[in-house]
Structure 1
């Protein structure tokens, strides 16, 4: 399990970002800090090496409530855990910005710790994930969308993700039997089924999801 601990300076006055006066009200997380670092984020090398520890960090928060800079103040003893702490929190953390005596938003600081403990991974649960997109005749990718149900849905509701490929296209597109460039729709499907040892066969159709499926579309 990974845990975002309570602020290390709880009970003390708001800390100032270098070059600024101390704020009247400190920056505070806009959401649950427990979602900043999740069990599935555990670095693979640290897992293989059974590395655990506590990483302390300080964030410089800009006046819009975003992380401007993250610095490690207490090493876990493993550089990959320390690096992952700042990288993930910089990507995910949003804040209610600090404010000055006039009530105006201003830069502020936030200190906390992440306790890295190797997670006990639960067994896979039934789920279905489908990503679709079109590859144009020139290889460019467009109209990417996805649908998640079951276990994939549960995970994506906790931390929304874009399952579309990171690249915007390919070096070459598809061709038909005559060698002419053509558009094609690509469908990538991942299915998890949990079945008894006997008396059941893998389904030829997607399993039913839990409630309404999670869907999305690339910007």
Structure 2
């Protein structure tokens, strides 16, 4: 853990080492020591979910970097065993800022060669497209799935993704499960009305009035 690194640096005689140790102290013994512990979760599970919602602003970037490093390690191990790794990121626009953004671009560029399949999910299109890193993400994405878009977002997307007026109609006032799929150079409209009379729907729905019918959207 980080405390082991801190102890090793403290043993070094150079003044530079002491300055590094002093900078780390807040994250080892101070109020931001949340990552200086061993996890109580089995990270070798087939499905692992990382939730950073409760992290404060000071720990958000560090938390994201720790998680991305963990994901990269899992991809490396799975590759050696001939397995693919699926990586889903909700609120993806948050991972396109600063150093975290650079890491995200590296993931999109290199994961496929290592058997990784990254997927970014977001409702904040303007925040997503405002990132200077998004061009690299789009260029390395083979599959893009667009649902209904607000007028301002739709205009930006049409310019960035070369969507025609006729195609844009499928993401304008579209119903649930309707939109556009981009696969390579092909753009296809789709309608996918998921049946509601089953357990999967009750688990996956995010509609407030339906989340009590046997499941919640985050189970």
TM range (shorter): under 0.3
What TM-score do the two structures reach when normalised by structure 2? Answer: 0.23
Of structures 1 and 2, the one with the larger relative CO (CA 8 A, separation 6+) is 1
What TM-score do the two structures reach when normalised by structure 1? Answer: 0.23
| Structure ranking higher in helix proportion | 2
| Structure ranking higher in strand proportion | 1
